[in-house]
Amino acid sequence: MLPDPRPEPSGHAGGEPLVPLLRVEQALGDPAVLGTWHAALSNLLAVEVPHDLLGLWLYPTEGGAVLLGPEALAQDELALPIPAPQLEQRQLLLLEEIIRDAGYASALCLPIRFGRRDVGLLLVADLRPDRYRDEDILRLTTMARSLAPAFARLARQWSTAQGPAPDRWQRVAGLVDAIADAAAHATTAERYVAALSRALEPLLPHDQLELLIADPSEARHYRLSEHAGGPLWQDPSLILGADVLRPSDLLDAEGRLLFADACRDPRWPRGYFTAAEPAGAELRAVVGARFQAPGGLTGYLLAGSIGPDMYDAEDAALIARTARLVAAQVAALSAGGVARPPAAPSERAPAVPANLTEVAEALAMVMEPAEATARVAELAGRFLPFDAMQFAVRLSEGDRVVLISPGERRLLPDLPLIPVAGTALGRVVQGELPSSFDLVAGEARLVVPLRVAGRVHGALVFTAAPPAVLNPAHVRPAQQLADGVAPHHELLRRAALLPPPFRPGWKREPRP
């Protein structure tokens, strides 16, 4: 059956060239289909862009170049440039020069680009000189864009369709081996997804691979693809709430997801899933599947392309099989990352890196310890919801500490020693607890250790009056703050143990 000779609109604004519909499944099975389609395309294009030669090449995913028409060009044995993953302008200019040397006074080469890859090459040439103007280039560029989705599908399927059947099994076997290798060597979720992406690329070209896990209620999802290590669910930027995305609402009866153009579907979030190259480009074609991992964990494997109309039902079946293969490894990565359901929105800790940088600068620039502690408390208040903060410093190996309030100007030896044995503060200072959080009658108290070189010499104590917003989710940023200020307090602690004439630091206030 020949391709439909009726032109199909490109889907862009009016006045653009029309292209005949290329049915990929027919083009793969019968060379005559490609010849007829090429002739129809040349005839339609000649109405707006007259030419004596229209050359079209396909770049299969496996590599190389395939001439789609006209057949006579095969006799010229042109040295065609190969994209990696895009053609360079100098390569196109060189090919144009070769065509002109062959007798065509005008020549123009344009890549057929899908996403960030060149999947084909378009060449027009004319015996007349200076034939192609800006408006012709615009029409040809638009036509190349219209051809891109069909060429992308054809490029993917060409190699396996032309080669023997065992090649297809070898590629699937290669995918299984690559998945196993990724599981054996990837030490973090982020690296595992990157390795999985490389393994899947030959069978399912994509610009971004996403791996999501859900909380027990499936109200929120966590992006493992960007989790660089440590406890899961701790980075708010990687948590997607139900107001952003509910993958279960996008699945068909078989638990698969298939978008020809996600940008046209209001259920797909904008700005969350973008390609690394070109940076920030939105994913349009998306294919995915849901899977169940050991331990009752639910996950989703998604692949996306920045070009539309890339995937079909066979791709959805492939990614569903891949999802089942990775389920056990996802469960292992989640367990290794101490996965826990995310805290409720009111219990999430805000991001802190910028504030911690300011804390470090304050400690480095402010010479007076009293002013430095006041500045630290001020900066800490920007990302920790406390009403009071104190530095508890142990001056000896006993169970007593001195409590330093921000702005305190007295020397450490002049401050009262307070016994803390048997208290949560005492257990943190002794190293018996990694941290402590208590909520009594609505008042919250958070204690994290001050540690240097593996030894604990004090603690940071935060209290918040009822109704307190301070909660266990703030342990991590509080500990980051404590680790930043601990070396400075260790220097002051050691200075306090020196004989009086050598003690720097707080100024001794006159006694009444």
Condensed to tens digits (0 to 9), the pLDDT of residues 135-157 reads 888 889 888 888 887 788 778 77
Residues near 349 by beta carbon (within 8 Å), at least 6 away in sequence: 236, 383, 473, 474, 476, 477
The pLDDT of 290-308, averaged and rounded, is 87
Beta partners for 305?
Answer: 285
Tell me which residue has tokens 């997804």.
193
- Measured distance CA(407)–CA(388) in Å, rounded: 12
How does residue 20 score in pLDDT terms, banded at 50, 70 and 90? low
pLDDT > 70? residue 328: yes
Assigned token pair, 478: 């509080």
Which of residues 418 and 369 earns the better pLDDT score? 418
Q: Strand pairing of 455-464 and 388-393?
A: antiparallel
CB-count burial class (<10 Å; 0-12, 13-18, 19+) for 75:
exposed
How does residue 1 score in pLDDT terms, banded at 50, 70 and 90? very low
Question: Please, what are the domains in the chain?
Answer: 7-162 (3.30.450.40), 165-342 (3.30.450.40), 346-502 (3.30.450.40)
pLDDT > 80? residue 447: yes
Condensed to tens digits (0 to 9), the pLDDT of residues 182-200 reads 777 667 888 888 888 888 8
Q: Are 178 and 198 in contact (CB under 8 A)?
A: yes
Q: Minimal CA–CA distance to 349: which of 246, 462, 453, 442?
A: 462
Q: CA-based Rg of the chain, rounded to a whole angstrom?
A: 32
pLDDT > 60? residue 40: yes
Kindly write down the DSSP assignment for every residue of 380-429, as one continuous string: HTTTS--SEEEEEE-SSSSSEEEEE-TT--S-GGGSPPEE-TTSHHHHHH
Condensed to tens digits (0 to 9), the pLDDT of residues 196-223 reads 888 887 778 888 899 999 988 888 899 8
Q: Are 114 and 152 in contact (CB under 8 A)?
A: yes
Condensed to tens digits (0 to 9), the pLDDT of residues 157-188 reads 775 545 444 455 666 666 777 777 777 766 78
Residues near 318 by beta carbon (within 8 Å), at least 6 away in sequence: 203, 204
Query: Angle of helix 313-336 relative to helix 165-185, nearest 10 degrees?
Result: 20
Q: Are 336 and 360 in contact (CB under 8 A)?
A: no
Q: What is the pLDDT of residue 166?
A: 41
Task: Report which listed range, 8-12, 303-307, 458-462, 496-500, is most confident.
Answer: 458-462
Condensed to tens digits (0 to 9), the pLDDT of residues 474-497 reads 888 888 888 888 887 777 776 665
| Mean pLDDT over the full length of the chain | 78
| CA 486 vs CA 382, 393, 423: distances in Å | 19, 10, 21
Q: What is the pLDDT of residue 13?
A: 39
Q: What is the pLDDT of residue 287?
A: 92
Q: Are 448 and 435 in contact (CB under 8 A)?
A: yes
Beta partners for 417?
Answer: none
The pLDDT of 459-467, averaged and rounded, is 88
Condensed to tens digits (0 to 9), the pLDDT of residues 391-410 reads 998 877 678 888 888 888 88
